[in-house]
Amino acid sequence: MIEIPILGGHGGNVRKASEKYGIPENEILDFSANINPLGPPEGVYRCLRSNLHQITRYPDPENAELRRALSAHLGVEEDRVLAGNGATEIIFLTIYALKPRRVMVTAPAFSEYARAAWSGGAQVVSYPLREEEGFNLKPFEIIKDLTGVDILFLCNPHNPVSNLIPPEALMTVIEHCRYTGTLVVVDESFLDFVEERRDYTVVPYAARHDHVLVLYSLTKLYALPGLRLGCAVAHRELVARLEACRDPWSVNRLAQLAGVAALQDPAFSDRTRRWLRKEKEFLFRKLQEVPGIRPLHPEVNFILVDLSESGKGASEVTEKMARRGVLVRNCSSFEGLGDRYIRIAVKDRLANERLLQVLSDVL
């Protein structure tokens, strides 16, 4: 366990890439952000078009309609749900409201866990996930270091690795945290892409116990990153504590409406998962055929790729691909990955074939 620097960087900045490389935004293929390429459910577009006039009103500060829809979708009571301006707002809000002294994150991991903790004055320590073990969480190792840790952030499925924590391993850690007094924040932002979602989610547990908080995102599966929309599921007392510290209008009116509309199409997630099963395996198989790289088998809609044997670093590869209008995620900003890995989102077949051609040419 080591104290870590706060690293930054995200994918999805198409505007910046367009300005830097002189390529129109609509001609850029963005594999650096893990968003459903099928787009939002059609009902979301209809809802937004018919409700544009509502931008003249303040949003509902209680997010009542949205919370009802989320509670029904997730199978928990409304007072266990806190809506937010994306899962990231809730990460920062949790730190602000609870004021932890010591926060643990796994490494590599989404940078905003550590950034939020650092911004709140907490000491940030990492638990390294070992490359030689497939970046898998070892529950009986991590629990040895949890004494004195106020908040532990876990990501399931894990970003950027695209693997899953087995339910028994995750529950071993969660149950241990009851005795150390550690709040476990489980980020399930990508779990909607997993066909066996119910086998892995800890949402029902979080609703009943006061030491677990689950982050749920509507921006990934439902392709709403521009609207920013997510929620937390936790015990009612923890939800109330966070609610008391929240900006009352952090979720804008159109996002509230879009979230409800998205959740009214229960078949959408099934269609997405059926499409993803086929396209994910296609892209993984084709990446395996590219000399000098090693893709890690994905559980969700992105693939971590090891460039070690190619003789090229992530910075060089991402730069050369970007100049050709294809953005992939340079993973050097993830603690523990260095300049050896890129992350690639799964897109439609035509886009995936274009990516494979550009990547092969660059290598």
Per-residue pLDDT of the chain (363 residues; tens, 9 = 90+): 444 444 456 655 788 888 888 888 888 999 999 999 999 999 999 999 999 999 999 999 999 999 999 999 999 999 999 999 999 999 999 999 999 999 999 999 999 999 999 999 999 999 999 999 999 999 999 999 999 999 999 999 999 999 999 999 999 999 999 999 999 999 999 999 999 999 999 999 999 999 999 999 999 999 999 999 999 999 999 999 999 999 999 999 999 999 999 999 989 999 999 999 999 999 999 999 999 999 999 999 999 999 999 999 999 999 999 999 999 999 999 988 999 999 999 999 999 999 999 999 999
- Report the greatest alpha carbon distance in the chain: 56
User: What type of residue is 252?
Assistant: N
- Domain carrying residue 62: 42-263
Tell me, yes or no, whether 56 and 36 share the same domain.
no
- Residue 174 CA to residue 186 CA, distance in Å, equals 10
The phi-psi region of residue 325 (left if phi > 0; otherwise alpha if psi is between -120 and 50; otherwise beta) is: left
- Residue 118 CA to residue 215 CA, distance in Å, equals 19
- What is the predicted pLDDT for the residue at 307? 97
Render the burial of 44-71: b for 16+ CB within 10 Å, e for the rest. beebbeeeeeeeeeebbeebeebbebbb
The domain that contains 297 carries what CATH number?
A: 3.90.1150.10
Residues 6 or more apart in contact with residue 162 via CB below 8 angstroms? 296, 297, 298, 299, 300, 302, 303, 304
Tell me, yes or no, whether 84 and 177 share the same domain.
yes
Tell me, yes or no, whether 25 and 112 share the same domain.
no
The domain that contains 202 carries what CATH number?
A: 3.40.640.10
User: What type of residue is 64?
Assistant: A
- What is the predicted pLDDT for the residue at 14? 85
Tell me, yes or no, whether 50 and 184 share the same domain.
yes
Tell me, yes or no, whether 24 and 88 share the same domain.
no
CA–chain centroid gap for 43, Å, is 24
Please spell the DSSP secondary structure of 269-296, one letter per residue.
HHHHHHHHHHHHHHHHHHHHTSTT-EEP
**Do 1 and 127 meet the contact criterion of CB atoms below 8 Å apart?**
yes
Cα 48–Cα 12–Cα 41 angle in degrees, nearest 5? 30
Task: Report the domain count for the chain.
Answer: 2
Residue 44: name the closest of 309, 297, 261 by CA.
261
In a domain, 201, yes or no: yes
Task: Residue 312: count other Cβ atoms within 10 Å of its Cβ.
Answer: 17
- What is the predicted pLDDT for the residue at 3? 47
Tell me, yes or no, whether 244 and 117 share the same domain.
yes
Please spell the DSSP secondary structure of 1-40, one letter per residue.
-EE-------S--HHHHHHHHT--GGG-EE-SS---TT-S
Tell me, yes or no, whether 34 and 46 share the same domain.
no
In a domain, 145, yes or no: yes
Tell me, yes or no, whether 46 and 134 share the same domain.
yes
Tell me, yes or no, whether 210 and 281 share the same domain.
no
Tell me, yes or no, whether 146 and 271 share the same domain.
no
263, 284, 308 - which closes a domain: 263
Global pTM?
0.94
